[in-house]
Every structure is written in C-alpha cells, then in structure tokens.
Chain A
Amino acid sequence: MEYVVNQIINGICQGAIYALIAIGYSIIVGVVGMVTFTYGEIVMIGAFAAYYTFQLVGTNLVLAILASFAASFIVGGIVYKLCYERFFNSPRHISLLCTIGFSILIKNLAQIIFGPDTKPMINIIENKSYTLEAFGISIVIKQLQIMVLVLVIISSVALTFLFQKTKYGIALRAVSQDKTAAYMVGINVRRTAMVGNCIGCGFGGVAGILLSIYYYSCSPLMGSSFSMKAFSSSVLGGLVDIRMSALGGLCIGIIENMGIMISSATFRDIFAFGFLIIVLIIKPTGFASSGKNRRVKSEKG
C-alpha cells in the first residue's frame, strides 16, 4: 500500500511538471491560435538563463526565475515575429513549418553557444525530503516536489484570474476567439497576440528552471522530450483551457507512474499516449467543456 501511495505521489509530482509546461503551451495556442513546435526550446532557454544567472550571481532563485522568464519572453517575441506575424493570413501549415525550423535552429545554436554537454545544476535548493506518517503508511515527498505543485496551483489561479477578471485578459481572450471581431472593437490584435505569446513563453522559461533544478541538470536537448508531453497534456485539456491543461498534465503523470508500477519504465509512453487516445475517443474535446472547444473550432475556421 505504501508503495502504491508513494508511486501516486511521484505521479502527481511528475504530472505537475507536465502541467507547468502545458499551462504556457495552452496560453500560446489559445492566444495565437496556432500550435507551436518551439516550446521545448523555449523551456531550454529558460533553464540556461537560470544556469548562467546562478553562475554569475550565485544561488539567487528569485533572480534566476526573473531571468528565465525574461529570456524566454524575449525569444517568444522573436518566434512570434518570425513565425506567426508574417503569416497570419497564410495557410496555417506555413507557421507550423516555421516553428519546426526555428526549433531546430534554436537547438543547434544552443549546442554551439552553450556547448553540447549536460550542465550540472546541483545544490540550488536544499536536497530535503519529508516523511509523512498516516494510517501506518510512510509517504516520502521532496521539498522541490512541493514547490513545483505549489507553483502549478499559483500559476493556474493567477492566469485564470488574468484571463477572466482583467481588461487585458479579456482582450487576450477576444483575440483568441476571433481576431477580426477583436480588431473591430478596437483591440490591437497583433500586439495583444504577441504579448500573449510572450507570456506563455515566459511561463515555459519558468518551467525550464524548475525542470533543471528538479533533475539537477540542463542541456540543449532537454526540451524535446518534455514538449511532446506538454502538447499531449494540452490536447487532453482541450488545447486552450489552462486549468484543464494542468489537469491533463497531472493525469498523464499519474497514469505513467501507475503503468511503471505494474509493468516497466520502458512502457511509460505507451501508458501516457494510450490514455490520451482513449480519452479522445470517448470525449474528443478532452477535459474541456465542449463549448470551449467549439470556440477553438470556429476560431480555427
């Protein structure tokens, strides 16, 4: 029983990491209205920004988070200018291909600039774990796992507040739903979409620093494997729904770990993507309400 509970905790924590990446992904897809393939690299840029901040100023987590957010925000702006803005009125696959190309470019540039090695990120946060005793079961949870979970919850709540309650958030939603209508009511569509994209990328950067601290390392190729899981989490959550994308990430993490518990770690992806396929067969809109998905459909034209 103790073993099962600990595996569920592992699943929740792993899912929280997927959720954190998926949140930023959902913002980008929601605001820009197009799928991106550069997100894994944005996460990697955030991790390296943190790595060099630690190298320059020592272990200052707040400063590193700010640096990660800023670096990814800026790269997000470049991605937007090069891959989206020019092609708003072009077929969707043009932007999609551009993001694939840009992703390869960033990955290769990173290997040239940062070097191909895996950089150690150890002793940033105290390597501490807590053992909770309940009903005769010992549950081990790491300090960093708690931190990731808390950050996911705060991000989800803050972004939901931003999107639902603020004027700027409403503008972002308007752009997400119908760019032409948003333009007609006086919203600067291009700037709003760009800032929305950059905010999503900034969150990717913050996810990058947590990932690198969590796994004690960062490398130019670190983003690729996570971006696919983030995309799956986002799809599971209905692509544009931030809270549901976070839930999608959590579910994938838990399902993966349950799968490992009963079989082998080599089948991790089979369980994750198998679960995704089953959910989409039963409910093609994912966890999101069908109303939200209709909105995406009409926006995508």
Chain B
Amino acid sequence: MKKITALLLSLVLVLSIFVGCGNQETTSSEDGGQEFKGTIKIGGLAPITGSYAEYGKGFKYAWETAIDEINAAGGANGYKLEIDVQDSEGDAVVSTTLATQFAEDEEIMCILGDFSSTCCLANTDIIERYGIVQFSPTCSSPVFCAESIYNFSINGLTSVEGQFAAKYMVGEYLGGETVVILRADNDWSEATAEPFVEQCAREGIEILADEKYQLDEKDFSSIITKARSLDPDVLIILDQGTAVSAICNACDSVGWDVPRINIGATTSQQVADQLVVKNLLTPASFFFDPENEALENWRVKFREDTGYEPTSHSVQARDTVYLLKQAIEKIGDGEITREAIREGLYCSEMDGFTGKIIFNPEGDITRRAFYICGVGEDSQWYVIEKVEFDPAEF
C-alpha cells in the first residue's frame, strides 16, 4: 500500500511539473543563449495574398523583424515574443475565421492586424466576446475604436484624411472646383467619402458624381467614360488596392489627363510601378526621412529582404510591436493576461518611426500633419509639401 501511495505521489509530482511548464509566470525558457521568463504568443492577421498582398507581406516582415529585435535585446519585460501570422486574404470572412481561431487559443495574448477596416470591423464582435485586443496598424475607420475597448489602431482616422484631401489637396493645392469620386464598394470607402463630401461642401467644391464599383472590378473603361463626360477638375479615387493604378491607366488609355488624388493606398510601390503615366497624388501621414538613420537603415534592410520599397503601413506595423512591448513592460511583475495587455496599451505612448504615438481615450490616435506626395517618372514617391493642421478645424 505504501509503495502504491509513493508511486501515486511521485506521479502527481511529475505531472505537476509538466502542468507548470504551460504557465508563463513560473517557468523560464532559453533561446539562443537568452533567458526568458516565458513566451507570449501573438496572433497576426495580414492579407498576404490578394489585392492587398503588398501591405500584408510588409506587415509580416515588419512584425517578425521587430519581434526578432526585441527578443535579441532580452524580450518584452523578460518574455520572449512569438507571432503566428496568418493570411486573411483581405477577405472579411477569412479574417473572422482566423480571428476566432486566435481568440479561442488561450495561449494567444493579443491579435495584431488586420489591414483593412472592413476586416477589422468584422472581427470586432469576436474580439469583444473573447476579450482579446485587436491592434491594427492601419484600420482607419472612425467607428473602429469606438466600437470596442479591445480595438486599437495607430493609423489615424480616414475621415480626417478625407477632410484633409478635400481642403488642402483639391482646394488649396490643385485649386479644383469640381470633382468626381470613384470608390470601391466597401465600408472603408463609405467612411472616407462621407467626410470628404462634407468638407467639399464647406470649401465650395462641387461633387459631380460619386461612383462605386465592385471590389474585384477589372474594367474601368465604362466608369471612366461616365466620369469624363462630366469633365471634373479633379478625379478622386478611394481605394487601397491595385484598382488605383488600373483606374489611372484607364484614364490615360483614352488620353484623359485629369489630376488624380488617391486616398487609401498611400505611397504604395506597387501602385507607382503599375502606372503608365505617373500622374497621381496621395496624402500620407508618414514619409521616409533620409536623415533619420535608424529609419533609413530599416528601409534599406526591408528593400534588401523583400525586393520592394516599404510603405508607411509597414512602418506602422513595426510600431505596433514596439507599443505592444511597452504594454507588456507596463504589466511589470503582474500576470500576463489579455486584459492586462489591453490596460497596458491604453497607457502606452512612444516616439515610433511614424512619429509620436499617444492613444486618445478611444484607443486611436489623431494625426496633425500630412504630406502631399506625388509619383515621379522613376516610379518613386516624392514629398511635394508637408501640411500641418489642427484637426479641430474640420
């Protein structure tokens, strides 16, 4: 009997050791000579394939390299970070499926991503139900952060971008009095178009047409013919994907050289490469400053590793990881939980590559400057003008 009791006790002891290994707080792990308190797993949602692949691949690269840097420097608050990046294809259905998988995995402490506002908004109910942070580098919907305390973004609101484009780009820079809007039929473009139209009304700019098209639209000849027949001073394209260059090329193929402004794709290299005639302007909240050595080194390495230029979206993705690191550090010796990360993020702020990041009470940030950028003949983006503004003026 004593032998059996001893055997059972030994078994319980051995089992308890194994059970303890699953607890981040009590064990240590070792990686490349580094001692860590444990591992914090993060889920990553990015459109690695599809129309937004350029951004999704940029996200993946930026997240993984930032995590490698943090781990090499001792981790976040002594914890090793690990990210599992999944391809959401820029599709809300795929994104919600993956978000559910991450949310149901109790080891995942936070979700980074997704790219588009459509996907991020679709995931909101899921992350709210499971109580896990969804930290998007690029979601710009004005309702995103307001909808859930678990939603965070560092993009700034698309509504402000739309108002900025109406006032400073159409009105002041181009001096346009009439515009035609072409936009993808999704909630992001809806959220951008509405404030843009309102600002145009305030500036005395007439909207001749607001034309929507399907997300997978390939042929723009008919809507270009329609837009051209109205003879606007400026053509506004609200889209984030390759449709931007397709629309510009459709204009050029019929010899229509109207000035074009895109809101959404920012300084996308893919869009610039695909333009037949380099006639496109865009507002960008961030532009690579060659005098910032750390940023320039990051950009060079990005280009060497991926073969293309990073967009501001990739840089924002990098900043999300460093903000998350700071949130984990704010937890200190407390238990690393999803809720603790959410609370830590709220009081995190930093000078990132994309500038000073301070969350407002809703978990979003407010931009106070935009660059007006244009594509050069060498398919590179250039800053035409930096405009600082007070968001209250809108």
CA distance A88 to B282 in the complex (A): 56
Beta-carbon contacts under 8 Å, A139-188 to B: 140, 142, 144
B216 within 8 A of A: yes
With known contacts A11-B222, A265-B222, A215–B211 Cβ distance under 8 A? no
> In the assembled complex, which residues on chain A have CB atoms less than 8 Å from the CB atom of B201?
none
B255 to A3, Cβ gap below 8 A? no
B281 within 8 A of A: no
B276 to A216, Cβ gap below 8 A? yes
B223 within 8 A of A: yes
B274 to A261, Cβ gap below 8 A? no
A192 within 8 A of B: no
Interface size class of A (residues with CB under 8 A): 35 or more
A6 within 8 A of B: yes
A36-44, A118-126, A293-301: which one contacts chain B? A118-126
With known contacts A3-B229, A127-B252, A217-B274, A10–B242 Cβ distance under 8 A? no
Output the least CB separation between B166 and chain A (Å): 22
Output the least CB separation between A290 and chain B (Å): 33
A265 to B225, Cβ gap below 8 A? no
With known contacts A10-B221, A266-B213, A118–B274 Cβ distance under 8 A? yes
B105 within 8 A of A: no
CA distance A110 to B39 in the complex (A): 35
Beta-carbon contacts under 8 Å, B323-362 to A: none
Output the least CB separation between A86 and chain B (Å): 31
With known contacts A111-B49, A127-B276, A265-B212, A14–B270 Cβ distance under 8 A? no
A122 to B274, Cβ gap below 8 A? yes
Output the least CB separation between A110 and chain B (Å): 10
B368 within 8 A of A: no
CA distance A273 to B54 in the complex (A): 33
> In the assembled complex, which residues on chain B have CB atoms less than 8 Å from the CB atom of A216?
245-246, 249, 274, 276
B218 within 8 A of A: yes
Annotate B264-287 by CB proximity to A: 1 below 8 A, 0 otherwise: 000000100111110000000000
> In the assembled complex, which residues on chain B have CB atoms less than 8 Å from the CB atom of A236?
none
B252 to A265, Cβ gap below 8 A? no
Output the least CB separation between A106 and chain B (Å): 14
Output the least CB separation between B106 and chain A (Å): 31
Nearest A-chain residue to B274, judged by Cβ: A120
Mostly helix, strand, loop or mixed at chain A's interface? helix
B214 to A268, Cβ gap below 8 A? yes
> In the assembled complex, which residues on chain A have CB atoms less than 8 Å from the CB atom of B245?
120, 216-217
> In the assembled complex, which residues on chain A have CB atoms less than 8 Å from the CB atom of B57?
116
CA distance A17 to B276 in the complex (A): 21
> In the assembled complex, which residues on chain B have CB atoms less than 8 Å from the CB atom of A123?
276
B253 to A217, Cβ gap below 8 A? no
A260 to B253, Cβ gap below 8 A? no
With known contacts A118-B242, A217-B245, A225-B218, A266–B212 Cβ distance under 8 A? yes
B74 within 8 A of A: no
A140 to B254, Cβ gap below 8 A? yes
CA distance A167 to B254 in the complex (A): 45
CA distance A235 to B213 in the complex (A): 26
Beta-carbon contacts under 8 Å, B218-254 to A: 218-219, 221-223, 225-226, 229, 242, 245-246, 249, 252-254
Output the least CB separation between A131 and chain B (Å): 8
B53 within 8 A of A: yes
B223 to A265, Cβ gap below 8 A? yes
CA distance A215 to B277 in the complex (A): 14
CA distance A258 to B221 in the complex (A): 12
CA distance A21 to B252 in the complex (A): 25
CA distance A260 to B270 in the complex (A): 28
A13 within 8 A of B: yes
B317 within 8 A of A: no
22 pairs of residues in contact across A and B, judged by CB atoms under 8 Å: A3-B225, A6-B225, A10-B222, A10-B225, A116-B48, A117-B53, A120-B273, A122-B249, A122-B274, A127-B276, A129-B255, A142-B254, A144-B253, A215-B249, A216-B246, A216-B249, A219-B242, A225-B216, A264-B211, A266-B214, A268-B214, A269-B214
In the A-B complex, list the 8 residue pairs whose CB atoms are closest, starting with the nearest.
A265-B213, A116-B49, A116-B53, A120-B274, A10-B221, A260-B222, A3-B229, A118-B242
Q: List residues of B whose CB falls within 8 A of some A CB.
A: 48-51, 53-54, 57, 185, 211-214, 216-219, 221-223, 225-226, 229, 242, 245-246, 249, 252-255, 270, 273-277
